[in-house]
Structure 1
C-alpha cells in the first residue's frame, strides 16, 4: 500500500486564499493591538482601582476617627461621675446614708445627669449601679425592670472585668428600666473607691443608635455604597439594612472582614471593594463601595482602549484586503480554470505569466488536465468493453449440471413414453434458453422475467415431483415495468439446491411482489434448511469463476441491480437455520 501524503490542515478554513491571507494579516495585527491594549488597560484600571481602595481606606479612617472622637466625649462624661463627690459618696460601701440624705443625694446626682442630657440629645440615659445595691439615673423617679438583672448584662460584666477602663458594647435593646425598650449602644465603666483600688459600682451611658447611623450615612460611597460596623466578636453593631440582616435576607462577608484590611468581592459581573478600619475600642468600621460607581473613569478608559482597538482593526482589514487581492489574483485565475475543468471542459489551459511557484503550478495543471483527458477516454472505452463482455458471460453462464439433469429427465420420460411431459419439459427448456441467450437490451419487461422463472420452476417441479412445490403471486400492474435479465433464477436455484433438496419432506418456494414508494419489491421465500449468520455474511461477496449451484451468481445480480439503478437498490437476506430463507430484491418502478 502506497503511503498517503497528508497535507497539514490550514490555519484559516476559508474558501479563498485571498480571505486566508487577509485573515492572517488581520489576526497578527489584531492580536498585537489587542495584547497591547489589554495590558495598557489592565495597568490603568488596576492603578485606578488601587487609588480607589486607598481613597476608601482614608474615608473609613475618617469615619473611625469621628466615632472615636464621639466615644472620647462619652468617656469624658463618665469621668465626671468618677470625680463627682456626690456619686462617690452615694455608692460608697464605707459610709452609712440615712433615707432622708439618700433622697437628697439622688436628686443632686439626677439633676447633674439631666443637665448633661439637656445638652446632648444623642444620649438616651445615664445610670449608676452601686455594688451596695443603690441605683440612680437621670430620672428622679425610676423603677428598674424586675425581670432584667443588671449584673447579668454583658455591658455590666465587661465593665467590671476591665476594672475602670471604658467598655463600648454592641448594639442591643436596653430594658433595665421598667416599660422602656430602646435600641442603644452602651458605654460602661467601673467606678473605683477613693483609694482607686476597690470597685464600688458601674457607670452606664446609653447612646441612641441613630448617632452612629448619622455619622455613617454622611459618607458618600456612591448610590449603592454603605458603611457598617462589627464588634470584636463579629456581631453587627450597625448596618443601614439592619432589619434585613436580622431576618437573614441579607448577609455580609464577616469572616473576611474580621481577618482582612481590604478585599474585593465578586458577584457575577459586579465587584465590591471592602475597606476595614480598626478602632481602639474593638469595633471595625467597614466601607463597601461598588467598583463601577467608585471608579467612574474605569469605563472611560475601557471605552477609549476599545475605540483604539476598533480603529486599528479597521485600518488593518483595509490594508490586508488590498495586499491579499494583489497576492491572490494569479491563484484566482487558476481557480477559474479548474472550475471549468470540473464542469467537464478538458480543453482549457492556464496562461503562464509568472516564473514563481504560481507559474509552476499552472504548468503542472496543464499537464494534469491533458493526462486526465487521455485517462478518461481510456476508462470510458474499457468500461464499455467490460460491460458488453460481462453481459455475454452472464447470458452464457447456465449451470451445466442443470442442463444435463434436465436432458436426462427428458430421455427418461421419453423412454417411459410420457410424451406430454416430454413436450412440456422440452418447451419449458426452450423458453428458458431463449431468455438466457436473448441479445436484446439488458433491461426487459417483468412479464418476460416471470415467464423465464415459470419455465425454470416447471422443469424443476417435473424433476423433483412431490419434493418441490411453488407459488408465483406477481401483480399484473407491474408486468410492463422494466427489470434486468435473469433477476430471480439465481435465488430460486439457490433455494432448491441448498435449502430444499436435502430437507426432509416437501419444499415450498413462494415468489411475490409489491409496490412501495415508487419501488418494486420482489420476495422469494422458501421453507428449506436456511443459512447460518456466517453464510449470510458471505452470500453477497463477489466470487471469481463459475459458482456451482447458483447459476449466474447471486452476487452478480446484486452488482447489476446497483450498476443500473443505484446503490439504494439491491438484494437483502433474512434466514434462520432449519426455518428457511427470505430474499428481498428492490428495484425502481421503470416503465
Structure 2
C-alpha cells in the first residue's frame, strides 16, 4: 500500500510538472511568434504610410518648371523669388489638401542656405543658421534625395513640440545641378500610431512603442511613457528584429520588435506577462487542487480494496508453489466471478492440460520415432535415380529422340554434380560445366529461346568458387528475365581479375526490374545476422540469390561486394567481387608463420 501510495504521488507530480512545462513552453513560443507577427504588420502599415507621404514630398518633380526655378532661385529678382515661393507653396498646399492626411500638421520649405521659402502656418520661423545647423536638416541632406524620418526635435526650449509626434523631410534638386536644392519638411501628429494600435487586435494592456533610427522614443501608447523610456528596452532593441523579456515598473513584460528597412524605425510591442500566462496560472491552480483531491481519493481506494485484491492472489501463489513441488492434485478454489476468479479458472484449466501433456509425452515421442523411420525407408537411393536417367537416355538413343537424350544426360550430370561432389569449394570450370547442362535443358524447354555466352579468360577457369554459385543466379536470370521476354534472350557470364580480387558477372537482356522493386531487393540483401526472410520474400527475390550472397558474406565479410543493377526493359546484371580463396598450401604457410 505504501509503494502504491508513493507511485501515485510521484505520477501525479510528474504528469502535472511535465504538462505545465509543455503548456508554458507552448504558450511562450506562441506569444513570441504572435508578437513578432504583430510588429511586422505594424511595421508594414507604418512603411506604407511613410511611403505615401514621401511621394507627396516629390510633387515638384512632376513639373520641370519647379526644378528650373530651384536652379535659378539664387539669380532671380525679388519679384521672381516672391512668385516662385508662392507657386511652390501653393503646390504643396494642394498636394496635402486634395487627399487629406489625418495626422498632417504643417510643412515648411527651405532653400539650400536655410532660407524659409514657404510655410503652411504662421509659426515663428527659424533663422537660416538654425536651419543649416539643425540635426534634421543635415541628416536630410546626407540622405541625398531619400526621405528622412525623425521624432520631433524642438529647436527652442519654448517651442510647443507636444503637438507634433514626428517629421519627414526630403531634398529636392536637379541631378545635373546638385549644389542648388530645396528641403521640404512636414510635421505630423501621432494619429498614425494610435490607429495602428487600434486596428491590430492588441490585448488590453499591450503597448506599442515606436523608436527612430537612433533608438529614441517617438511614440508610446498608454500613459506610462516614462517607465518605458527609463527601462532597458531602448538599449536591447538592437538589430533587424528580436524578442526579449524586460522589467517595466516591477512588472515582467515581453518585448517584440522589428526594424523597418525603409525608414530604419523600430516598431516594438510590449505585452505584460500576466496577459500571456494568466490562463495558464489558473490552470496550474486548478490542476494542483485536482491532484490533491485525486490523491486523497486514491488513498481511500487503496485502503478499502487492497486486501480484497491481495488475498486471492496469495491463495493462487500458494497453489503455484504446490505445483512447483510436483503436486497436481490441488486446485484453486473459485468463489468469485471477477478478473481474479477468471484467472483461477484458467489456472485450473492450465493445470489439467499440463497434467494431460505430461501423461501423453512419451506416447508422442514413440509415434514421432515411427514417422521418422518410415520417412527413412521411403527415401530414394541416388544410384537408382542415376540408373533410371541412364535408362531414359539409352531408350531415347535407341528411338533416336535427341532432345530427350540431351535432357536426361544433362539432368543426370547435374544430379551427380550436386550429390557426388562433397567439397564446398569447386573450380570455375566445374561450375561452368554445371551451367552448360542447365542451359541445355532450358534451351530445349523454351525451344532455343535462351542462349548463353561465356567471356572468361582461360587462365581463370581454375579459379576457386563456392559450390552452386552460378546456377542459382543463372536460374534467376532465366525465370525472372528471359522467360518473360518476347523473343530470344542472352545470358552472359564473364569473369576478370581486378588487382587482387576476382570479378564475376551474370548479365541478361531480359525484361529488367523497376526502380521500386530493385530498391526492395537491395534492402533485403543484408548481412546474414540481420536477415529475416519470410517465405513470401523468398519467392519474390529468389532464395538462391540470398543463399549465394550469405555464403560469400560469411566467408569474406567486408572484402566481398555484391551488386544488382537493372533497368526496366534493359535487363539485369549481378556482380560478385571477392578475394581469391586460400589454398591448403597458403593456409599451412600462414599457420607456420
TM interval, short-chain normalised? 0.3 to 0.5
- Between Structure 1 and Structure 2, the one with more helix by share is 2
TM-score by length of 1: 0.46
Higher RCO (Cα < 8 Å, 6 or more apart): 1
Larger Rg: 1
